[in-house]
Amino acid sequence: MEHSREALRRLVLGTLMPGFVGTTVPDWVKREYAAGLASVCLYGANVVDPDQLAALCASLRSAAPHVVLAVDEEGGDVTRLHYPTGSTQPGNALLGRLDDTALTRDSAVAIGRELAAYGINLDLAPVVDVNSADENPVIGVRSFGAEAARVSRHSAAYVEGVQSVGVAACAKHFPGHGDTVTDSHLALPHVHAEAHVLDGRELEPFRAAIGARVACIMTSHVVVSAIDPDRPATFSPAVLGDLLRDRLGFEGVIVSDALDMAGASAETGIPEAAVRALVAGCDLLCVGSETTEEEFHAVVAAVVSAAGSGRLPVQRLEEAAARVALLSKGFAADSFAVEGSAQVPAWSNGALVRGFEVGAAVEAWLDAPCDAVIVQVASDPNLAVGRVAWGPCAAGLATSEDAVPQGAKVAVAGRGLAAGHPLWAVAERLRAHGHPTITVDCGWPRGGADLVTFGGSVVVAEALGRYLGVERPG
């Protein structure tokens, strides 16, 4: 069957999910929706506060009532809805430590209800990667843990929670980003684990998510050498077709990770990456966080050209667009079940502290008869997290180093505490001035900290403050 260029363009638009620059809906997004655009993704830079976000989503829904509106709302360190102030959910690593799937499900229900209230119908979560490499620079506390069985049961609980209120979930990053020491935002990571290790570790949480009827699965820009030594998963028919579709039996929407990441497009550019992803088996392409109209048109032109030349079979394009259309109908924004409130535990009751890792020095510090303060040391985030508010600072509990009262005991908090982190020098200075001092890692532990919270969200920082007996500075 012959397709006109206009018909091909409409099919292509049915597979694309751009972001955009600014805090209001650009005119070009509205025009492209009228021409067939399937999806739009919101990012932290699009959010100022709840009122602005509500107005933005309402404006988008008014212009594009059937668009798949997506966001990375993982809970914990990665939040978009709460980008300016920090997440009100503890996040995966701490939930995995608590190992109560009911808590994880309730946290996901709360996230889903909040998304639904804004008219957002696709949550690009949960992260189901097994964080088997402690030095992993991009997954860490976004993971439910380092054990496949634990990650699997919590991944299923999260999927069930989000989707129970009518919001689609998206398990990521297939077939696993947890055993990497490179951030795919910055370069192309490789996983060299043997096939039987992958099967028992990386793939188990995806099996669990598929068993929970997850609507979408997101690819990783990672070369998994035991499956395809030549291509990242996003561009690999062996990974997406042979493994995910045929062997694991996934029938939902395959979403690419963002194509503006270096692991996807540093060598080829985004338009070529888009073509390769569709050819490999992706259905919905996450174009990037700050897509301009010109960049979007370049992607569309490249995919239309590939389809017109036969490099991208039109049948593959039709299949992808049809899956995305079914997603839009199955998780329509006007069918959200948002009545009532989520049964989320009162995080103030001390439940989160049970998931902290507490070393021997902390007990003596707690017993020291002096006022307690927290000093937070700046810690560069990875690009997945962004410049979101985090830790004791976000909770209003931090004191600057130069304002520590004489005789006070100090908890020095940071995250990503590798050997060269400036936190260690701050702690040594405070000890030299006679302050009883402990160190707190608000991330995935790398060794050396006296206390580890396994997350830096506001609610975790508040639990930390209560545990340490720290009051908000005057």
Please give the pLDDT value at position 77: 95
Q: Say which CATH class 5-335 falls into.
A: alpha beta
Residue-level pLDDT at 183: 76
The residues of the chain that CATH labels 3.20.20.300 are 5-335
Q: Which of 82, 154, 185, 435 is catalytic?
A: 185
Q: Which of 455, 448, 459, 468 shows the shortest CA–CA distance to 375?
A: 468
Write out the H or E segment, with its range, that includes residue 169. Answer: strand 168-174
Rounded distance between C-alpha atoms, residue 338 and residue 68, angstroms: 18
Residue 244 DSSP symbol? I
> Is 199 one of the catalytic residues?
no
The secondary structure of residue 239, as a DSSP letter, is I
Predicted local distance difference test score (pLDDT) of residue 209 = 98
For residues 399 and 360, is the Cβ–Cβ distance under 8 A?
no
The answer to whether the CB of 107 falls within 8 A of the CB of 146 is: no
Q: Choose the catalytic residue: 257, 260, 441, 450.
A: 257
Q: What pLDDT does 83 receive?
A: 93
Long-range pairs for 46-52: beta carbons < 8 A, 24 or more residues apart? 46/19, 46/20, 46/22, 46/80, 47/23, 47/80, 47/81, 47/83, 47/84, 48/23, 48/84, 49/84, 50/81, 52/23
The answer to whether 68 touches 17, Cβ cutoff 8 Å, is yes
pLDDT at 187: 84
- How many angstroms separate the Cα of 455 from the Cα of each of 14, 94, 144, 353, 390? 37, 6, 11, 11, 9
DSSP string over 175-222: T--TT-SS-TTTS--EE---HHHHHHTTHHHHHHHHHTT-SEEEE-S-
Q: Which residues 6+ apart lie within 8 Å of 140 measured at CB?
A: 93, 131, 443, 444
Rounded Cα–Cα distance for residues 353 and 339 (Å): 31
What value, to the nearest 5°, has the Cα angle with vertex 440 and ends 447 and 125? 85
Q: Are strands 285-288 and 39-42 parallel, antiparallel or unpaired?
A: unpaired
Task: Report, as ranges of residue numbers, the positions in the chain whose pLDDT lies below 50.
Answer: 340-342
CA nearest neighbour of 406 among 426, 427, 430, 382: 430
Whole-angstrom distance, CA of residue 271 vs CA of residue 287: 9
To the query of whether residue 185 is one of the catalytic residues in this protein, the response is yes
Rounded CA-CA distance 437/67 in Å is 52
Q: Which of 106, 201, 194, 98 is nearest to 149 (CA)?
A: 201
At 68 the three-state DSSP class reads strand
Is residue 134 within 8 A of residue 179, CB to CB? The reply is no
160-195: per-residue pLDDT in tens? 999 999 999 999 999 999 888 877 788 888 899 999
Q: Is 240 left (phi over 0), alpha (psi -120 to 50) or beta?
A: alpha
| CA 57 to the chain's CA centroid | 20
Classify residue 140 as left (phi > 0), alpha (psi -120 to 50) or beta: left
pTM to 2 decimal places: 0.95
Q: What's the distance, Cα to Cα, between the start and end of the chain in Å? A: 73
